Amino acid sequence: MKNHTRLDPDILRVGHLLADAARRETLKYFRTTDLSTDNKVADGYDPVTVADRAAERAMLDILAQERPDDAVLGEEYGAVSGTSGLTWVLDPIDGTRGFVSGTPTWGVLIAVGDADGPFFGIIDQPYIGERFIGGPGLATVTGPTGTHKLQTRKSRDLSEATVFTTFPEVGTKAEGAAFAQVSQKARLTRYGTDCYAYALVAAGQVDLVIEASLQAYDLQAPIAVVQAAGGIVTDWQGGPAHNGGRALAAANPEIHAQALEMLRHCAP
């Protein structure tokens, strides 16, 4: 597929349109009594809200108007075929459990990629007011203090690292045990924040994010943003992660290698 060395300005333009629309829709419902919620699963709790659906619907309407030849993969409404070779991957609310709990670090994920994976991504934090963008020649965050360049942390030993994961159990018992090996070596382990943890890797605040049981729409925008800022994202075997499953996001190749050595022995 095409080697994306320069970002098409129209992709950036439409990406902002989508993020703006999703902000409007999600903030209508956040911390209100109007939030209706359904559970996607019979065993456990995987919520979807009216805000998820409204935000994705708004983004789909924009793409139908602005980029009709591109394919779309969304969490709530599935796949839309296209002819351009490009796919927009949408997660209208990454961190719906946090959203329904009133915590502010949920985000909107928007990515564009081809068969080789994502090359452009947005991690938007509507309530916090931060927008992290990554693509060819572009790695910035815009927020309350203005616009700043994104740059991941320089190399440090795992013993000095900060590690994030969303859920303490991580995934299966085996995956949890593999994560624990890394966590026990690290200086600081933190839980929660969903996609915001990847944004913090890109911003140079965090060294590692380790997760499992992810979907493509959970990962593609974070991959693009982290890699544009100088980081690396793979699965637990060191291969591509953009189709979902296990993910290891690292600030630099050196700390990635340290964590990967502990994770790669976890059975598939």
Q: For residue 2, what pLDDT band results from cuts at 50, 70 and 90?
A: low
Tens digit of pLDDT for each residue in 91-117? 999 999 999 999 999 999 999 999 999
Tens digit of pLDDT for each residue in 238-258? 999 999 999 999 999 999 999
Find, among 85, 89, 60, the residue nearest to 73 by Cα.
Answer: 89
This model's pTM is above 0.75 = yes
Mean pLDDT of 10-39: 94
In terms of Cβ atoms closer than 10 Å to its own Cβ (0-12, 13-18, 19+), residue 77 is middle
Tens digit of pLDDT for each residue in 167-203? 999 999 999 999 999 999 999 999 999 999 999 999 9
Domain locations in the chain as residue ranges: 9-149, 158-263
Decide if 142 contacts 202 (C-beta within 8 A): no
User: Top-level CATH class of 158-263?
Assistant: alpha beta
Kindly give, in sequence order, each residue whose CB lies less than 8 Å from that of residue 72, ignoring residues fewer than 6 positions away.
Answer: 60, 63, 79, 80, 82, 87, 88, 89, 90
Type and span of the H or E element at 89: strand 87-94
Sheet of 208-214: strand order equals 188-191, 162-165, 208-214, 245-250, 232-234
Q: For residue 1, what pLDDT band results from cuts at 50, 70 and 90?
A: very low
Report pLDDT for 228. Answer: 98
Report pLDDT for 3. Answer: 64
Phi, psi at 123, each rounded to 5°: -110, 105
Tens digit of pLDDT for each residue in 118-168? 999 999 999 999 999 999 999 999 999 999 999 999 999 999 999 999 999
**38 vs 151: CA distance, rounded Å:** 38
Number of neighbouring beta carbons within 10 Å of residue 252: 16
Dihedral (C-alpha) 218, 220, 226, 231: value to the nearest 10 degrees?
110
Mean pLDDT of 83-92: 98
Tens digit of pLDDT for each residue in 26-56? 999 999 987 888 888 777 787 899 999 999 9
Can you spell out the DSSP letters for 189-254? EEE--TTHHHHHHHTTS-SEEEEEEE-HHHHHHHHHHHHHTT-EEE-TTSS--TTSEEEEEESSHH
Which CATH number is 9-149 given?
A: 3.30.540.10
